[in-house]
Amino acid sequence: MSYKIVIDSCGELLEEWKQDERFESIPLTLMVGGEEIVDDASFDQADFLRKVDACPECPKSACPSPERYRDAFDCEADHVYGVTLSAELSGSYNSAVLGGNLLKEEKPGKKVHIFNSRSASIGQTLIAMKIQECEEAGLPFEDVVSIVEKYIEGQNTFFVLENLDTLRKNGRLSKVKALVATALKIKPVMGSTPEGTICQLDQARGMNKALVKMAEHIVEKTVDSEHKVLAISHCNSAKRAQMLKEALQEKMKLSKIVVLDTAGVSSMYANDGGIIVAV
């Protein structure tokens, strides 16, 4: 059976997916001040980070329309899947569900399922990889949905940010706390909750110590790691991502580690120097 996987642009695409018609990235729109930036293949990370740094306002994102999702789902594939960033962080999931329903009204019986990642960025990438694995194994549509939903329940996402400005600007960190943290070089270690919201797991003084703390949490929360794929995404910080990869390889056995640069929406959340891990 043929399949298609549609991922909103908060999720990073593997290089081989970019030329594969079975994968499609649906762009969100980023807003910095009065400028709108489409998060597609034309996204310029360095230019975007400069604009965010210069703008006193919090950067925002707008999700794709239900019609845009409907068009992406309307294809020849027998099985169609959507993977969106957490419904607790964006309207992208609800928009995708509406798009899927629009298509099903027109084409009853069309097999479409939308996954709420309860994560973002590289977490969505891992979910798409799991869907691909199940489809390549020839599993029925209903089994793929069941297996991947269970996979999402067991997935954890972690991140450490070099720059706290975006968290402060969007109200997730108070101005006083952000200023104190910046003055003392304190870096919070953040993670996802089972519902797909963001929580603080730990903190440390300095980025390197925060990454060590994050690695400890990753090892502690990852059960049966030798059977799992771990993914790291970074915002303009390839060396830091490589160091973390090597540190994790020393601490735990993993089936595979994937390292990717953040796309537009992920770059907005992570900001310059941010590191995101999902497993």
Q: Comparing C-alpha atoms, which of 270, 73, 75, 79 is closest to residue 170?
A: 270
Phi, psi of 83 (to 5 degrees): -130, 115
Topology (CATH) of 3-28+63-154: Rossmann fold (3.40.50)
| pLDDT of 183 over the 90 cut | no
| pLDDT of 180 over the 50 cut | no
CA 43, 19, 159, 249 torsion-angle sign: negative
What CA–CA distance (Å, rounded) separates 186 from 191? 16
The gap from C-alpha 69 to its chain's centroid, in whole angstroms, comes to 18
CA 71, 75, 79, 84 torsion-angle sign: negative
Could you report the per-residue pLDDT of 93-143, keeping only the tens digit for each? Answer: 999 999 999 999 999 999 999 999 999 999 999 999 999 999 999 999 999
Could you report the per-residue pLDDT of 208-262, keeping only the tens digit for each? Answer: 999 999 999 999 999 999 999 999 999 999 999 999 999 999 999 999 999 999 9
Domain locations in the chain as residue ranges: 3-28+63-154, 157-278
What CA–CA distance (Å, rounded) separates 178 from 184? 10
Q: Please say whether the structural domain 157-278 has been given the CATH code 3.20.20.140.
A: no
What Cα–Cα distance (Å) separates residue 126 from each residue in 177, 254, 275?
33, 14, 16
Enter the pTM of the model: 0.94
Phi, psi of 110 (to 5 degrees): -65, 130
Whole-number percent of the chain with pLDDT over 90: 84
Q: Comparing C-alpha atoms, which of 233, 213, 79 is closest to residue 157?
A: 233
| pLDDT of 179 over the 60 cut | no
